[in-house]
Amino acid sequence: MSSDPSELFDALARLQPADAEPAPISVPALVKQWLERGPAIFAGDDRETLEALCRQVDVRKKMSAGYAPGWKRLEPEVPAAPPVVSGVVAVLLANAAGVGEPGPDGARNDGWGLKCTNSALKALELNEHPPHASDLRVWAIDVLDRMRDAEEPR
Amino acid sequence: MSRTLPLTVLAWEGPQARAYLVRMRRAGLRAERVILMVRDPGAEKRGRPAGRPSGRAERAQDRSHNFHPYTIRKSSPEIVEAIGDAMAGIVEDPMGFYAEMFDGFSYGDHASRVVRVGANSYRDPALAAALEKSGAETVLFTGGGIVPASVFAIPGIRLIHVHTGYLPFVRGADVLLWSLLVRGRPGVSAFFMTPGLDDGDVLAAKELEPLRITLPAGSSNDADTLYRALFSFIDPLIRAELLVGEVLAPADDLGALSATPQDLSTGVTYHFMHPIVRSRALGELFTVPPLRAAGGSPGESGPSPAQYQKYYERTSARAPIRFAIDASRAKSSLRTRSIQNRQKDYSGLAGRPDLLALHRDMNRQLALQTERWDSYDYGEGYFYQSSDELGVTGLRDTAGRVETFGLKELVKGRNALEIGCNTGFLTLAIAPEAARVVAFELNPYLIAIAQAGADFLDVHNVEFAVAAFEDFEADETFDDVLSFANHHTYDGNTRQSLEEYFARCHELTRPGGRLIFESHPPEIEGAHFGETVKIIERFYDIERSEVHDYGTFLDKNRRFIVAIRH
């Protein structure tokens, strides 16, 4: 298993579909761009976009390949391919790099990172065999193991 | 003498609505009106609107919506008492509070008027019509669904909601649990609702002292029960205390409540927790001692295997009926599963006198275990491990475990030692590929079952022994040492530290040999599994470290490690 997120990002970037169906919001295109950029904690527009993807996973329990503006469903709705799902999971877990340090606003843990990890675990269950599933699960559980507990000062 | 507030409580039947009304009554307050939504499940199933609410529908709804608190109070009173002890710092006399909520509760005792509306959801037009007709202005939302735009559009209406997260930092779902994980303590906020998610102006908000509930030894600790207890006995009281204590009781004029806009650029919107994350969060709240301290017998949560022995003398048409009845009455979900799986196994015994005889012998050992073994029964009166070859469904998926981890390939032609082999069904599954396997287990009844299985399958290259790892002696080392969720045990029988455990594993592994390791589920390993990995790394070089989603709920998400001895 690769313990270096960059290596996993590279491996997943190589698995991304070459030709994605065009859509106003194309998840494969987003994932390809994010993976090529490397692991990072998002801010601004990227964070908003990732948050919208979390809502799809957490609330609708689906990830589609494309969405209409405002993250509305396209007809027909095509599920995101397994490598794309794995790519989203890796990006979510990279956003959890801050877990293990105190969070903002007096928080004991980084809420954004834990939210992303929560969505990552759910996303891994959307498909039967997303690539690198085991590595991604190990990563997710390692994030949870880094959480600061009650004994550590806020 | 109570004061009637110009407040309409929009009651979705359940602990939340009841807690608000009980707390108000304790403060000498009554709602002007309760609008009680009454579901008509028959109409709902047919896709039709709810009809006129009947007393029968209302009583059925009470039983349905309050099922979990009623059940937990009856089947696990020790959990409720432990919660009550902890909640005494938040509300006065919590146990009395629960009695007021669930023993003879009547909406009519808490409001000047109760209006019953047949409505299957908040979207039902009958609900908006009832609200508009009532002229209600200040309405208390009590959960149960998303409020549609049609309700917000009612002229003059303002809805108050109380949410167990400290706004603006914690918004969304499961917020009490997210508050515990992220902020280390519960929080609560009362605010005016908007069509958005938890973004309205705040009436009152606070964070509470960290909350920790110590459950007595032997009490149920399955995550579902604790989650339901949270929303039956903890969350509703936290909300009610803030609402009444800091918003309703001090208010001279509900029409002039002062609220502060939130800083929406800060905070996180959370969603319902994944089971692994939820278990971690519940672990922040509940402390559960190991079951061994209870000294309770496994039979306490269900019939003893001895009661089923007669069904294994000869197959009987009555057995499946008995199993189905007992499964429906079992006190825990794990015990239910064990009896259901026993029923499944039984259906495979017809026409197989050899298999019936084996199951008879194995069940006899399970019965002796229930009678004489004073420690935790992983199999809940049944078999923990599955075995396709022996016709046992089990609680864990042996075939899945073997295939997912590639165990047969790993042990091919090698001498292996298995620590804590339970009934040995995993041992027997891999033995045909191995050169030889030595497997030991502390529980003699499980070893007797293992030996019966070996005899049935005509497996001759396995030596089973009764031993604790601390006392196990061998004058040889092994190519592979198999440690499957035994590095610390749920039953509290482990007498050595993790360091000592892996040091012993190391001694028993030949130079260049391997440790093949499986963890407990992440919710049992808790927050410090990283330390376990570091200890392993002191003795071995880790070659594979994986997490797989396979098998039953007991199998999922365990860490699998293959490591080479230094």
pLDDT for B266-287, tens place per residue?
999 999 999 889 988 998 899 8
Q: Collect all residues of chain B within an 8 Å Cβ-Cβ radius of residue A149.
A: 284, 527
User: Do B217 and B291 meet the contact criterion of CB atoms below 8 Å apart?
Assistant: yes
Neighboring chain B residues of A144 at a CB cutoff of 8 Å? 276-277, 280, 522, 527
Determine contact, residues B393/B345, Cβ cutoff 8 Å: yes
Q: Are B236 and B19 in contact (CB under 8 A)?
A: yes
What integer pLDDT is reported at residue B566 of this predicted model? 87
Interface contact B529-A141, CB threshold 8 A: yes
Please compute the mean of the pLDDT values over residues A69-96 and round it to a whole number: 95
Contact A137 B184 (CB under 8 A): no
Q: Which value, to the nearest 10 degrees, does the dihedral of the CA atoms of residues B81, B85, B89, B95 take?
A: 30
What's the whole-number mean pLDDT along residues B37-63?
87
The answer to whether A48 touches A42, Cβ cutoff 8 Å, is no
Of A108, A134, A144, the CB nearest to B184: A108
| CA within 13 Å, CB half, B406 | 7
Residue B469 identity (one-letter amino acid): F
Q: Across residues B525-551, what is the average pLDDT? A: 89
Please check the confidence at residue B36 and state whether its pLDDT lies above 50.
yes
Taking Cα atoms as reference points, which of B282, B197, B269 lies closest to residue B234? B282
Collapsing DSSP to helix, strand or coil, B145 comes out as coil
Q: How far apart are CA B129 and CA B136, in angstroms?
A: 11
With a pLDDT cut of 90, the percent of chain B lying above it is 76
Q: What pLDDT, on a 0 to 100 scale, did the predictor assign at position B295?
A: 31
Neighbours of B107 (CB within 10 A): 21
Chain A: closest CA distance from residue B276 (Å): 8
Higher pLDDT, B515 or B216: B515
Q: What tokens appear for B265 in the block?
A: 């650029």
Report pLDDT for B332.
75
Task: Say whether residue A154 is in contact with chain B using an 8 A CB cutoff.
Answer: yes
B41: preceding bond cis by omega (within 30 degrees): no
Distance CA B102, CA B41 (A): 22
A153 touches chain B (CB under 8 A): no
pLDDT of B294 strictly over 60: no
Residue numbers of B between 49 and 78 with CB closer than 8 Å to A: none
Contact B210, B184 (CB under 8 A): yes
pLDDT at A1 exceeding the cut of 50:
no
* Interface residue B549 vs chain A (CB under 8 A): yes
The alpha carbon of residue A115 is apart from the nearest alpha carbon of chain B, in Å, by 6
pLDDT of B344 above 50: yes
The three-state secondary structure class of B115 is strand
Distance CA B163, CA B143 (A): 10
Picking from B132, B268, B162, B283, the residue whose alpha carbon sits closest to that of residue B221 is: B283
Q: How many CB pairs (< 8 A) connect A and B?
A: 97
- Model confidence at B220: pLDDT above 80: no
CB contact under 8 A, B182 and A108: yes
B242-246: average pLDDT = 98
For B191, the 3-state DSSP assignment is strand
What is the Cα Rg of chain B in Å? 28
The confidence score (pLDDT) of residue A152 equals 53
DSSP secondary structure, B249-296, as one string: TT-S-GGG---B---TTSSEEE-PPPHHHHHHHHHHHEE---GGGG--
For residues B112-141, give the mean pLDDT. 94
- pLDDT score of B463: 96
Does the CB of A80 have a partner CB in chain B at under 8 Å?
A: no
Q: Which of B183, B268, B546 sits opposite A112 (nearest CB)?
A: B268
Q: What is the pLDDT of residue B291?
A: 46
Contact A145 B529 (CB under 8 A): yes
Of the pLDDT bands very low, low, confident and very high (cuts 50, 70, 90), residue A25 is: very high
pLDDT tens digits along A85-129 = 999 999 999 999 999 999 998 899 999 999 999 999 999 999 878
The Cα B62–Cα B70 span in angstroms is: 10
pLDDT at B224 over 60: yes
Do A15 and A86 contact (CB within 8 A), yes or no? yes
Residue of B nearest to A118 (CA): B274
Q: Which residues of A touch B187 (CB under 8 A)?
A: none
Residue B492 pLDDT level (bands cut at 50, 70, 90) = low
Is residue B395 a contact partner of residue B341, using CB atoms and an 8 Å limit? yes
Nearest CA in chain A to B528: A145
Residue in chain B closest to A115 (alpha carbons) equals B270
Q: Mean pLDDT throughout B541-564? A: 91
pLDDT for res B490? 62
DSSP code at position B432: T
Using a CB-CB cut-off of 8 Å, the residues of chain A touching B522 are: 141, 144
pLDDT at B497 over 80: yes
Does A3 score more than 80 pLDDT? no
Q: Identify the residue whose tokens are 């207890």.
A: B229
Check CB contact under 8 Å for A154 and B184: yes
Region B365-374 average pLDDT: 88
Cα(A102)–Cα(A109) distance, rounded to whole angstroms? 5
**Does residue B60 carry a pLDDT above 70?**
yes
Q: Which residue of chain A comes nearest to B171, CA vs CA?
A: A111
**Statement: residue B536 has pLDDT above 50:** yes
Q: What is the pLDDT of residue B280?
A: 87
Closest Cα to residue B549, out of B276, B338, B341, B278?
Answer: B276
- Confirm or reject contact between B522 and chain A (CB < 8 A): yes
Average per-residue pLDDT in chain B?
91
Task: Tell me if chain A has a CB within 8 Å of the CB of B206.
Answer: no
How far apart (Å, rounded) are the C-alpha atoms in residues B311 and B356?
Answer: 9
Per the DSSP assignment, residues forming a β-bridge with A67 are A25
Percent of chain A with pLDDT over 70: 95
Do A149 and B280 meet the contact criterion of CB atoms below 8 Å apart?
Answer: no
Lowest mean pLDDT among A59-68, B281-290, B334-343: B281-290
How does pLDDT run across B418-466, given as a tens digit for each residue? 999 999 999 999 999 999 999 999 999 999 999 999 999 999 999 999 9
Is B280 close to A150, i.e. CB distance below 8 A? no
| Cα within 13 Å of Cα(B373), Cβ side | 24
Residue with tokens 């298999």: B355
Q: State how far residue B223 is from chain A, nearest Cα, in angstroms.
A: 17
Per-residue confidence band for B25, with pLDDT thresholds at 50, 70 and 90: very high
Q: What is the pLDDT of residue B296?
A: 37
Provide the sign of the torsion angle of the four alpha carbons A84, A87, A91, A92, taken in this order.
positive
CB–CB contact A145 B528 (8 Å):
yes
Q: By mean pLDDT, which of A139-148, B404-413, B508-517 is the weakest?
A: A139-148
Chain B residue with Cα closest to A139: B547
**Chain B residue at shortest CA distance from A55:** B271
Tell me the pLDDT band of B375, cut-offs 50, 70 and 90.
confident
Measure Cα distances from B304 to B144, B299, B338, B375 in Å: 41, 5, 12, 15
More confident position, B176 or B217: B176
Q: Determine contact: A52 vs chain B, CB below 8 A.
A: no
Q: Which residues of A touch B277 (CB under 8 A)?
A: 114, 117-118, 121, 144
CB-CB under 8 Å, B210 with A115: no
Please say whether the beta carbons of B471 and B271 come within 8 A: no
Instruction: Yes or no: say if A154 and A108 are a contact pair by the CB < 8 Å rule.
Output: yes
Pair of tokens at residue B69:
């608190």
From B266, B527, B548, residue closest to A149, measured CB to CB = B527
For residues B317 and B354, is the Cβ–Cβ distance under 8 A? no
Q: Which of B384, B350, B389, B345 is nearest to B366 (CA)?
A: B384
- Give me the pLDDT at residue B4, please: 96
pLDDT over threshold 50, residue A2: no
d(C-alpha B93, C-alpha B97), whole Å: 6
Is A51 within 8 Å of B269 when comparing Cβ atoms? yes
CA distance B560 to chain A (A): 10
DSSP code at position B305: G
Closest CB to A134 among B170, B178, B547: B547
Q: What is the mean pLDDT of residues A45-74?
A: 95
Burial of A96 (0-12, 13-18, 19+ CB in 10 A): buried
The yes-or-no verdict on residue B411 having pLDDT over 70 is yes
CA distance A121 to A89: 8
Neighbouring-strand partners of residue B517: B483, B561
